[in-house]
Amino acid sequence: MAQRIELLPEHVANQIAAGEVVQRPASVVKELLENALDAGATDIQLIVREGGKTLIQVVDNGAGMDRTDAELSIVRHATSKIRKAEDLFQIHTMGFRGEALASIAAIARLELQTRNGDEALGTHLKIAGGTLESVQETVVPQGTSIQVKNLFFNIPARRNFLKSSKIEYRHVLEEFQRVALAHPGISFKLFHNDSEIFNIPESKLRRRIGHLFGSRMNDRLVPIEEETQVVKVEGFICKPEFAKKGRGMQFFFVNNRYIKSSYLHHAVMNAYEGLLRPDTVPGYFIFLHVPADSIDINIHPTKTEIKFENEQSVYAILRAAVKHSLGQFNIRPVLDFEANQNLETPYNLRHMSAQLPQVEVDRNFNPFREEATPSIQRKDSYKASGDSWTALYEGLGEGQYQEGAKTHWIVESDAPSEGLFDEGAMDALADVASFQVDRKFILTRVKSGLLLIDQQRAHQRVLYEQFLENISLKEPVSQTLLFPMKLPFDRGDLEILTEMNESMKALGFAMEEGSDGDVIISALPVLIPDAEVGGVLEELLTNWKQQLGTEGFSEADRMARLLSRALSIRPGRVLDTASRQALINDLFACKDPDRSPFNKKIHTTFGVDELEKKLQ
Ligand code: ADP
Ligand code: MG
């Protein structure tokens, strides 16, 4: 078989943007994975130890190399992928500099085992610091395995620059995700420190996103699709209510190559305008396909930046495509995340004093001439104060009053809509006797009979609304701890905590990952007593994992629910008179005092007639 690798002519080599290929373990991962893809692999395994600092290994079932190619592969500017300068502008493969393996071999211990389909035996090379130490024949399956050990072992300065294994691992993981997303048709495995992190079969993009980021992603994705002469756009975008604070799941791929582009990101953000809560960024997995000669991917040595010939058109088309998907799938503005609750008023409005909107009316208007239609429908009654109330026009009903030339519309107040208690009873409630039944229910008297309240559900409702209120405030009410708490968690839990971190922050938590898998908590929502934090977090994690009864809600909402469950008083807890009254008061000050956040009935009344019947 003819040698496939040739040295690039010097001038071509010089045309290639200079730059270090290897900055950290993740850069090695990227190069090795891309080589495996270029070799036509359909199954790729990535094995790393200590975030890649001690070991990075990629095993593929691709074409493999013969002995000569294998030896050449570690020579700078040896590549089988381009031959002449013009080829630089027609790049379809991932690697094209022919310098990755050479660079890696120069700064680590590298072992390469490979066999191509034509040969019975494979080749095993050992290289350290750029020096070929041994070449052996070996029995291996077709494909290539490259092991990179002790990165920067011969450059202590660079080695010391590496971050903790945890941080390096995060970068490795990101690289893995990018490659796996771009190639859903290929199966991947990832092992870290001997534990299997991912084992993902070949699938369609949607499922691949689920494999990588959790199956709940499925409900959050909206497909995006647009094809024009300039660019073809496809992939998925996330519904706006799942947008998160800070960057997270934002992926652009151009011709299947992951790229960073603040310009394209801007186009997407622009399309979401008006749909996002402040400071949140939606996730997206967007694939752009353009003719290979209309882009220049060679402007940055790590190849994550790109220049389009038709930049402005790409921007406009991308924005239109995102807008179209958001519109087509009927994604309405969700500035308010509690949208599907019967909680229509944003909580922070509750802290503002009510102002009556002023409406100018045509005083010559005579409603008796035409059909008069009352424009405000109100369900409960209210008392209009004093003299200003003049119902001038029957047809306009009681929703407004006249003052000078102006008609004031009276807007429904925040008063509890239940007419459960006697007039004025809300204030006087403290005087009404209440009893605890079975340490589970509170029984009290109301105007029409007896009211039975489930104490835990009531408390859940109260806490839930308080948490929501806290979230909707710009600055969540939180207490900074004098002595930050250190709580140990295992790796899996840590990942979930990281996932929850944004919503936790919104609630008033301040936590960060400590050195050894500890979580350091420096501030808490005021609603959570210090002593309860550990237990609350444990319970939160368990419920979060099980997605208990919270499907389809925003993350913040879900968090508020779970916290309300975790903190609520349990059956069996004795409540003194004051606590019972406070709970009843708080419950009926809630927007929805009837149902718990988990949609369970909170209270019921036994009418006097019902009681009478029972005694017949
Ligand atoms: P580039 O990918 O830019 O060509 P590299 O230094 O990454 O440069 O690789 C050099 C050459 O080694 C590649 O062109 C390819 O021919 C060969 N090679 C590297 N990795 C593999 C692999 N996993 N399978 C088959 N061939 C490989
Ligand atoms: Mg390469």
pLDDT digits (tens, 9 = 90+) for 164-185: 898 899 899 999 999 999 999 9
By alpha-carbon position, which residue is closest to atom 17 of ligand 1? 73
Q: What is the pLDDT of residues 341-397, one digit of tens each?
A: 333 333 343 344 444 444 444 455 554 554 433 333 322 222 223 332 222 223 333
- Residue of 580, 219, 564, 565 lying closest to 431 (CA atoms): 580
**What SS3 state is found at 186?**
coil
Which burial class, exposed, middle or buried, applies to 436 when counting CB atoms under 10 A from its CB (0-12, 13-18, 19+)? Answer: middle
**What SS3 state is found at 471?**
helix
| 123 within ligand 1 shell (Cβ under 6 A) | no
User: Residue 570: pLDDT band by 50, 70, 90 thresholds?
Assistant: confident
Residue 480 has pLDDT above 70, yes or no: yes
Measured N-to-C along each axis, helices 491-507 and 555-567 cross at an angle, to the nearest 10 degrees, of: 100
pLDDT of res. 343: 35
Compute the mean pLDDT over every residue in the chain, rounded to the nearest whole number: 76
Q: Which ligand does the CA of 146 lie closest to?
A: 1
Residue 428 has pLDDT above 90, yes or no: no
Distance CA 106, CA 127 (A): 8
**What SS3 state is found at 616?**
coil
Token duo for residue 337: 């995340």
Which range scores top for mean pLDDT: 56-60, 238-242, 264-268, 389-393? Answer: 56-60
Cα of 106 to ligand 2 centre, how many Å? 15
Distance CA 556, CA 244 (A): 10
State how far the alpha carbon of 554 is from the alpha carbons of 241, 246, 339, 368, 592, in Å: 6, 16, 9, 49, 19
Cα of 43 to ligand 1 centre, how many Å? 17
pLDDT of res. 114: 97
pLDDT of res. 479: 76
Q: Is 612 left (phi over 0), alpha (psi -120 to 50) or beta?
A: alpha
**Among 38, 42, 46, 116, which residue has the most ligand 1 atoms within 8 Å of its CB, making it the best to mutate?**
38
Length of the chain: 616
Token duo for residue 417: 């809509």
Token duo for residue 384: 């209009």
Cα of 126 to ligand 1 centre, how many Å? 16
Where would I find the beta strands (DSSP E) of 154-294?
187-192, 195-200, 221-227, 232-238, 244-245, 250-254, 257-259, 280-281, 284-289
Residue 47 has pLDDT above 60, yes or no: yes
Q: Which ligand does the CA of 147 lie closest to?
A: 1
Residue 335 has pLDDT above 50, yes or no: no
| 240 within ligand 1 shell (Cβ under 6 A) | no
Helix (H) or strand (E) holding 34, with range, is helix 25-38
Q: Are 598 and 561 in contact (CB under 8 A)?
A: yes
| 144 within ligand 1 shell (Cβ under 6 A) | yes
pLDDT of res. 322: 95
Q: Which ligand does the CA of 69 lie closest to?
A: 1
Token duo for residue 25: 């373990």
Ligand 2 ion local residues (Cβ < 5 A): 35, 95, 100
